[in-house]
Structure 1
Amino acid sequence: MTSASTTERKPLDHDTVVNVAGELADIHGLGEVTLTSVAKQLGVRQPALYRHVESYQDLIRSLSLRGRKLLADSMAAAAIGVAGNDAVAAVGHAWRRVAAERPGLFAATDRYPCTGDAELQAAANRIVEVISMSLASFNLDPENRVHAARTLRSAFHGFSHIELSDGHPHKLDIDDTFDHMLQLLCAGIRHQQHVS
């Protein structure tokens, strides 16, 4: 006879395990995510997870991949229909929004090394490509466009990371600071524009 808890339990698959791990990371912090905590949340024994993730490191890698995809998708959607400074602002605000709404998943984006991992490298490259596309209306040569996209990525990531760590204690409004950063970045990018 099947118990009620068994019939109510959702079937496990890789996405379910990663989804639960991501939710736990957002609520309690990435450092609190373990295979034990994920198994407990799913109502299964830890060994049951090994059919869907190879190890704890594999789980963190999956969260890192998921976080990068969310960043790229969110920025791509935000940049539709805008150009110039407005496009840069749109992708920047999308990045900051993902970090605020999914802090655990965001933290996972730099917790697993990309080097030697083709899938993670492709996910990181897509982020740069999305930001680069937001720069389409700037008159940049291909090399400077990549440099600008990497610079924006670094700025957005750094600002969001510091913000999540309560690292902006000054009384000035943090939204204003972010807008000032965007203005400075756009001014710098325009300074790099190719003059024909």
Structure 2
Amino acid sequence: MPRIGLDLPTLLTAAAEIADREGFEAVTLASLAQKLQIRSPSLYNHIAGLPDLRRHLALRGLATLSAQLEQEVAGCTGDDSIRAFSRTYVAFARTHPGLYEAIQRAPAPDDELLQQAGGRVLDQVYRAMTSYGLEGDAAVHAVRAIRSLLHGFVTLERQGGFGIPLDLDVTFRLMVDTFLAGVKAMRTGEG
């Protein structure tokens, strides 16, 4: 019998808090049950186990990021769109480090729901690339590049890899502007 007031959204909120505070790997059935002050078997009324819980966290993270991107990137085009995407992506990773970690894992090939959720995030940046005239393979390369840049920045920042006391926001803007110069060179055939 499920505990009154305990449902999947409540479980996911508690699990996301653990993930953001202690890291994604700290999310276990035992840590979640302890946080909720229940016994671990009670969780099985709502999830099928740890992989299912982590999948739900990834879905929540992707939905949250997608909603933030839609709000921040709406109405932007060209450079403004890429800058808004980049700022929002990094802000999400800073605010929700555990959920950010959850969304980095590639979904199983048969997990259509997780693939669609990830696709909604990628669609935001693909749409921005069309304003540069990039389509097909060129757009894929550009999207991979911006994701790699942003993930690298987030990872180095989170792990304390930027030890020199210079303003990280300046570094971030320089990185995005350099990427934009490269995208424009791709469009004109210079790159």
Query: For 1:77 and 1:148, how far apart are their aligned partners in 2?
Result: 22
How far did 1:10 drift? 5.7
Aligned with 1:114 (options 103, 107, 114)? 107
Percentage of identical aligned residues: 34
**Structure 1 residues 23-32 or 90-99, which shifts more?**
23-32
Q: 1:134 & 1:141 partners in 2: Cα distance?
A: 11
Aligned AA (1:80): A
Residue 164 (structure 1) aligns with = 158
Between the aligned partners of 2:32 and 2:108, the Cα distance in structure 1 is 27
**Are residue 140 (structure 1) and residue 134 (structure 2) matched?**
yes
Aligned length: 186
Gaps of 5+ in 2: none
C-alpha change, 1:10 and 1:98, in structure 2 (3 Å) is: farther
Q: Does the 8 Å CA contact 1:128/1:150 hold for their aligned counterparts?
A: no
Residue 71 of structure 2 corresponds to residue 77 of structure 1: yes
Taking only aligned residues, the RMSD between alpha carbons, in angstroms, comes to 1.8
Contact 2:59 2:114 in 1 (8 A): yes
Deviation by residue 1:69-90 (Cα, 9 ceiling, x = unmatched): 2222222221112221111110
Residue number among 178, 182, 188 corresponding to 1:188 in the alignment: 182
Q: Which residue of 2 aligns with 1:4?
A: none
Contact 2:61 2:102 in 1 (8 A): yes
CA deviation digits over 1:140-187, x for unaligned, max 9? 234322321222122212211221111111222211111111011101
Residue pair 1:83, 1:137 contacting (<8 A) in 2 also: yes
* TM-score with structure 1 setting the length: 0.86
Structure 1 counterpart of 2:86, which letter? Answer: G
Larger Rg: 1
User: 1:21 corresponds to which residue?
Assistant: 15
The residue that corresponds to 2:58 in the other structure is 64
Deviations 1:4-50 (A, max 9, x none): xxxxx861221211111001111222232211121122221111100
- 1:194 shift after superposition: 5.6
